[in-house]
Amino acid sequence: MLLVYNITDYYYDYKDNLELTKKLEKVKSNTDFLKLKKINSEVVGIIKIKNTNINYPIVQSSDNTYYLNHSYTKEKSSAGAIFLDYRNDLENLSKNNIIYGHHRLDNTMFGSLSNLFEEEWLNNKDNYYITVDTREEKLTFKIFSVYTISKESYYIKTYFSNTKYFKEFLETIMKRSIFNFGTNVNTNDKILTLSTCKNNFGKRIVVHAKLLKKEETN
């Protein structure tokens, strides 16, 4: 069984740790990829979403368990880190590329993904864009689906044996959305999927976006 499924078994309900919070704030104000890479060679990008608290380094390990309880500096932390599925590569995108993070009650990490279910956030079209900075590129994605769902492995598939199956996948995740973003997707698109726990009863918050453009940064 793929280790990726273990992500759905974690949910933390705890008070802020002052030292950890200070470190997170420091990271959020640091948009220099190379500086982050020197801190941890497993940093692969930086993710940002407007009108959320999401502005964090993305890390990647050889499995989907290590960063569940380690920070981006590799220190033990129940808050974990924002991390890319071990099967994906931001420099060579798969059909579906998954990024995970804990849904913290203080709205750090992926806690503020809950904003995407609020009318005020949804009514501002400028919010629909996710940027991911890598060593050499800035990737811009546009959100097309947001929903909550019980624990499953379907939406975190990264490989599709043929176009028919990928088309069915896209149709399914489009239909699940609680809001019509007015964005069409097709089988030529590269998808970014964000996944976090909604609560400790098995519910997940899921966000899907499609790649709009790549811009070289060097």
Looking at the annotation, which residues are catalytic?
A: 197
Classify strands 43-49 and 137-150 as parallel, antiparallel or unpaired: unpaired
Cα atoms found within 13 Å of the Cα of residue 10, Cβ hemisphere only: 23
Instruction: Compute CA distances 21 → 15, 174, 195, whole Å.
Output: 11, 35, 22
DSSP output for 64-82: SSGGGSB-TTS-B-TT--E
* 41 token code pair: 């060679």
Quote the distance between the C-alpha of residue 19 and its chain's center: 24
Cα distance between residue 200 and residue 102, in whole Å: 11
Cα distance between residue 196 and residue 122, in whole Å: 19
Q: Which of 95, 61, 85, 97 is nearest to 4 (CA)?
A: 85
Sign (positive/negative) of CA torsion 211, 51, 180, 175? positive
